[in-house]
């Protein structure tokens, strides 16, 4: 759906008049999974799929919210913008409104809002962070609040914690807000220091493979992993003072891993600590144009997520295993929270068509599910379109 079609939809629903449109991208994480809430490094990039937020301020004392994608609509009084509405999608933008209220912003007028997203829901490409960031930049600009992008990113993360119940790290919102075309973001999730690293993949494409087995971060398993990582910090603290798993190097971990009382907790820690090391090396290899080594590190990342962190599942594993069989695949791994969703693969340009045909056919034969494939373009972060 293009911008003109969206404007017509908005005018059909709310009537004609001046309106503005904002866009925030989804993201794909090239490497560095489940490290963000452990204070480690991640390496995501914004993609061309995302969420559009069309908005018009009104004299009414309520906010009307509707979506092109989803049937549920809501009318929320401005005095109730700090309260969730059941378990509906509108809680993402309402949760963002609530964060503005917490900062002392007073909304004396309402608004009409229409949302459209072309990030596949439940695919692990951060449709929720994209919706939160589109809402944040739209509200910030519409009410001329002047809040900096980094603060908007933190507010969007808080909205996910408090209104969706997912204790996510900051990577998804950060990538959606700070993305830059043809660059990935090397982000320290503890300090929020970051570097925009050029992604020069001469003759190589980023292919996202959607298993169409939706991931459900709010199922409780994600929050369970967060708790297991906190337990690992307590275990490591018996031997070395640490505040988070990122404070422990791989060498230090190897010296104490056999001393862990809880072996499950030990494996969770091993994934996080080794993944942080892999991410650091991967960025270095990309800067040196060693894409083959980058691909090996992607493969190792997936194995760790499968064996130590146990967040892949049969669909993601099948997709990755089929990818490895294709000549011209440099590396492949799950991306996002896991438990379904997408893989990301680096594929030589001449092998992309074969990859999509063969991996798709074999995946369907083994899983019974029909996958979708996207050749990703790396895009800019959240912004006003008009």
Active site residues: 172
Tell me if 372 sits within 8 A of 210, measured CB to CB.
Answer: yes
Tell me if 295 sits within 8 A of 330, measured CB to CB.
Answer: yes
Backbone angles phi, psi at 263, to 5 degrees: -70, -25
CA-based torsion, 80, 83, 84, 85: positive or negative = negative
Give 137's contacts (C-beta < 8 A, 6+ positions apart): 22, 24, 53, 149, 152, 177, 382, 383, 384
Half-sphere exposure (Cβ direction) of 341: Cα atoms closer than 13 Å: 25
Cross-sheet strand order for the sheet of 62-67: 74-77, 62-67, 110-117, 44-58, 20-29, 383-384
Which secondary-structure segment (H or E) carries 175?
helix 171-178
Residue 221 CB-density burial (10 A; 0-12 exposed, 13-18 middle, 19+ buried): middle
- Which structure tokens are listed for 81? 């913008």
């Amino acid at each position: 759906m293009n911008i003109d079609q969206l404007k017509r939809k908005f005018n059909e629903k709310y009537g004609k008049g001046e309106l503005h449109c904002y866009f925030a991208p989804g993201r794909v994480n090239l490497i560095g999974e489940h490290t963000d809430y452990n204070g480690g490094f991640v390496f995501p990039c914004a993609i061309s799929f995302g969420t559009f937020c069309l908005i018009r301020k009104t004299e009414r004392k309520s906010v009307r919210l509707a979506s092109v994608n989803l049937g549920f609509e809501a009318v929320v009084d401005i005095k109730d913008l700090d309260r969730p509405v059941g378990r509906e999608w509108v809680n993402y933008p309402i949760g963002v409104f609530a964060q503005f209220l917490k900062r002392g912003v007073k909304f004396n007028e309402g608004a009409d809002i229409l949302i459209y997203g072309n990030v596949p829901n439940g695919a692990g490409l951060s449709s929720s962070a994209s919706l939160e960031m589109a809402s944040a930049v739209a509200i910030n600009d519409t009410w001329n609040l002047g809040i900096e992008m980094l603060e908007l990113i933190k507010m969007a993360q808080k909205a996910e914690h408090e209104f969706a119940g997912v204790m996510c790290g900051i990577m998804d919102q950060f990538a959606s807000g700070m993305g830059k075309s043809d660059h990935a973001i090397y982000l320290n999730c503890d300090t929020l220091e970051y570097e925009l690293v050029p992604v020069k993949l001469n003759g190589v494409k980023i292919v996202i493979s959607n298993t169409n087995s939706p991931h459900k971060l709010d199922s409780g398993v994600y929050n369970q992993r967060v708790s297991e990582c906190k337990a690992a910090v307590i275990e490591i603290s018996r031997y070395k003072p640490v505040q988070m798993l990122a404070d422990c190097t791989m060498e230090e971990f190897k010296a104490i891993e056999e001393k862990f009382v809880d072996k499950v907790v030990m494996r969770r820690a091993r994934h996080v600590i080794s993944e942080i090391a892999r991410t650091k090396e991967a960025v270095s290899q990309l800067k040196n144009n060693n894409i083959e080594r980058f691909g090996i590190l992607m493969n190792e990342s997936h194995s760790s997520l499968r064996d130590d962190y146990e967040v892949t599942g049969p669909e993601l594993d099948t997709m990755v295993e089929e990818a490895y069989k294709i000549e011209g695949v440099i590396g492949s791994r799950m991306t996002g929270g896991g438990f379904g969703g997408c893989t990301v693969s680096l594929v030589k340009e001449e092998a992309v068509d074969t990859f999509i045909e063969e991996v798709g056919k074999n995946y369907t034969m083994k899983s019974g599910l029909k996958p979708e494939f996207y050749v990703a373009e790396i895009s800019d972060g959240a912004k006003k379109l008009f």
